[in-house]
Chains A and B, each alone.
Chain A
Amino acid sequence: MPGPVQAIERAAAILRLLARGSGRLGVGEIAASLDLAKGTAHGILRTLHGVGFVEQDAATGKYQLGAALLHLGTSYLDVNELRSRAINWADALAARSGEAVRIGTPLEGNALVVHHVFRPDDTLQTLDVGTLLPLHATALGKVLLAYDADLAASAQRSDLPSLTRRTVVNAAALSRALAQVRENGWAGEAEEFMPGEAGIAAPIRSYGGLVVGAIGITGAADRLCDGRLRPRPELVTLVRNAARAVSRDLGAGR
């Protein structure tokens, strides 16, 4: 096994230092306290700043602990913030695909709909933000399960209710389906939640690739899928591009 990573040890020391006393230190003070070269301390601080673990005061240039540290316990992004950050790309996805768009995050063993854009055909539709969707039977839910081992384990321990004759109700089959989602980078749903309806979803990632939600489209199976109920590749591309655009705005892949 490789030894400890020095840069991470140093980053931890900087965070401990900032957690003490007044909590606001300049880069020179930090370097001096930890006996680091100023350039080294600066590089680590920039990185910590990039992930939100430290903040820099605009006026004095001093560093302090960042808000992101306080939210470490709740690793999912604030859902209202997720909606705000995703709204432009969710709109564009609905406009391009011609289908309704939803964004989901996990809540108590379900997928919580945190954002919904109507199908852009001006027919009567109702906002369903706040609705809970079953994880195992929806494309949004399967994306959330695929990238969260704890969530997947508890889903597989519980009953998987059958909602249509196509719902995946067998734990082993679900496990294979989730492996496929990870392999493909997207999930499909073909009449597994509602007869006649299909969905396509992809992961929204934040710093370091952490999955914080899923974005997807739903609509009539004959529009979203080919004759063998396979999602149409051009729609899959649109969904994945939207997910990537939101992820980029959230700091993934920087």
Chain B
Amino acid sequence: MTQRYVMSIDQGTTSTRCILFDQRARLVSVAQREQQQYFPQPGWVEQDAVEIWRNVDRIVPRALADAGISADQVMALGIANQRETTVVWDRRTGTPVGRAIVWQDVRTEELVREFERKPDADTVRDRCGLPLATYFAAPRLRWLLDSVPGLRDRAERGDVLFGTMETWLIWNLTGGIDGGLHLTDVTNASRTLLMNLATLAWDDELLSFFDIPKRMLPEIQPSTADFGHTKRVVPGLRIAAALGDQHAALFGQTCFARGETKCTYGTGSFLLMNTGRELVRSTHGLLTTIGYQLGGEPAVYALEGPIAVTGSLVQWFRDSLGLISSAPEIETLARTVQDNGGCYIVPAFSGLFAPHWHSEARGIIVGLTSYITKGHLARAVLEATGWQTREVVDAMNADSGLTASTLRVDGGMTADHLLMQFIADVLDLPVMRPIVAETVSLGAAYAAGLGVGFWPDLEGLRRNWHLAARWLPQLDASRRAAEYANWQRAVELTFGWAQPRRPV
């Protein structure tokens, strides 16, 4: 019998990868391409949606060729994507209206302040589970509608379409200007500020609050659903799942039961806890979001603590400061010293996300003395990820009333042993990495494979989860407390830094 596989596309913030998995969830081939990031102004982050589409066009055939398999051996395709990144395009030409605005972009800060002042601002969070913040898609879409001449008219006439990356890719894969399907899934839609968390539909009140024409929005589907067949790149693949990357990682970590939690360490880091059928409202700065929704079943909800800047701080250290030549060298450099030397870096590059939600905060390095070397800075870079994790784990414990007993981790930064040990130390919990570090891709594959019956049920998937590495806490309690107190003081120093631009 010929072997059968499931394909995933993980359209991340730094790169897009296509991975093939076999029936035992083992990785068979990987093809990956980075996309360019543009930083045209302080706080602005953009990407070229056409470049991302071209990358998909290259990596999908390559993943098949590397594995030596043909398209008809691929039972299903699952797509996971960076969330909240916003693109608008012309449905007749397929051309994007400017560059995609990335989730880390804070250009909408003033716009968000205006929204906050509206009398019905309080109702937003009740409807969609999210605070008003620059992080989400709706303010970006509104910014485009306000700033691109004629765009609102085109949107109202139905000439332009909005999407996050999965929507853009599905539209292109299923035909583009020749009948491409305009679809999103509940997890991605739950990150726009426009979807009602209870009804799982676009919310008319929210659309009018943000003044967004409904015609430009994609149709919302469950995470496993019929997203059509590919007509381009490699025709005939069945797109059976789409979900936001963090939701895919929750799924890939097989966090199917209430209370199960994971943290994914990539460009940013994202702690998600499955809260089952119950929609839990956070009182400690977390988001309420959709965990996933299997076709024909009710949605599974989740609490989320997003951290904007973790891996991207390492990239900044590499690309903007030039102190290392590859991301993993941060560990080598950090190991040249014993501790942080009293130095802390709070990477509030996009303001601070959970649990603080200070859009106006900006990054700082504190505790500088002549003693500090680049080794100490490298430590402070890694420690920032540890402490930010501690903050969201504390918030999660407070919100859920549960006390985490271990932390399941995945993502590119889990290759960093110094960091993983530090996280175990600051949480005072064992940190566990599963045997597939590419959990986002695995989760997208799982969802797609379940959708087409390649895998029978969730229990079967659970049996594929195996422990690949575990770090145990070693730091003594007084040291942990003292360091955490220093970190918290450093965080406070970032608040209130960015000022509204003065009119000229």
Contact = CB atoms under 8 A, between A and B. Distances in A.
A120 B329 contact: no
B466 A84 contact: no
A80 B27 CA distance: 22
B326 A127 contact: no
A118 B467 contact: yes
Interface stretch (B78-86, B164-172, B300-308, B432-440): B432-440
Interface in A94-151: 94-96, 116-118, 120-122, 125, 127, 129
A81 B329 contact: yes
Contact of B469 (A80, A84, A127): A127
Nearest to A91: B435
A27 to B, nearest CB: 21
Interface string A31-55: 0000000000000000000000000
B418 to A, nearest CB: 8
Contacts of B415: 80, 83-84, 87
Given A81-B326, A127-B470, A88 B36 contact: no
A129 B471 CA distance: 11
A187 to B, nearest CB: 24
A29 interface: no
Interface string B322-335: 00011111111000
A120 B332 contact: no
Contacts of A96: 26
B466 A129 contact: no
A53 to B, nearest CB: 13
B113 interface: no
Contacts of B436: 91, 95
A84 B27 contact: no
Given A91-B436, A91-B437, A78 B329 contact: yes
A58 interface: yes
A10 B332 CA distance: 35
Q: How large is the interface on A (under 10, 10 to 19, 20 to 34, 35 or more residues)?
A: 20 to 34
Interface in A50-105: 58, 67, 78-81, 83-85, 87-89, 91-92, 94-96
Nearest to B421: A127
A55 to B, nearest CB: 10
A88 B469 contact: no
Interface majority SS on A: helix, strand, loop or mixed?
Answer: helix
Interface residues of B, number: 30
A83 B329 CA distance: 11
Contacts of A81: 326, 328-329
B329 A80 contact: yes
A88 B332 CA distance: 20
Nearest to A120: B466
A89 B30 CA distance: 10
B416 A80 contact: yes
A95 B30 contact: no
Interface string B418-441: 000000000000000001111000
A83 B433 CA distance: 14
A18 B467 CA distance: 48
Nearest to B436: A91
A47 to B, nearest CB: 20
Contacts of B402: none
A127 B466 contact: no
B468 interface: yes
B397 to A, nearest CB: 26
Contacts of A129: 417
Contacts of A117: 435, 468-469
Interface in B22-40: 24-28, 30, 36
A84 B418 CA distance: 13
Contact of B327 (A58, A79, A84, A122): A84
For the complex of A and B, the 4 pairs showing the least CB-CB separation, nearest first, are A120-B466, A67-B325, A80-B328, A84-B328
6 contacts: A80-B330, A81-B328, A84-B412, A88-B27, A92-B27, A95-B26
Interface of A: 58, 67, 78-81, 83-85, 87-89, 91-92, 94-96, 116-118, 120-122, 125, 127, 129
Given A67-B325, A78-B329, 19 more contacts: A78-B326, A78-B328, A80-B328, A84-B416, A87-B414, A87-B437, A88-B27, A91-B27, A92-B27, A94-B435, A95-B25, A95-B435, A96-B26, A117-B469, A118-B468, A118-B469, A120-B466, A120-B468, A129-B417
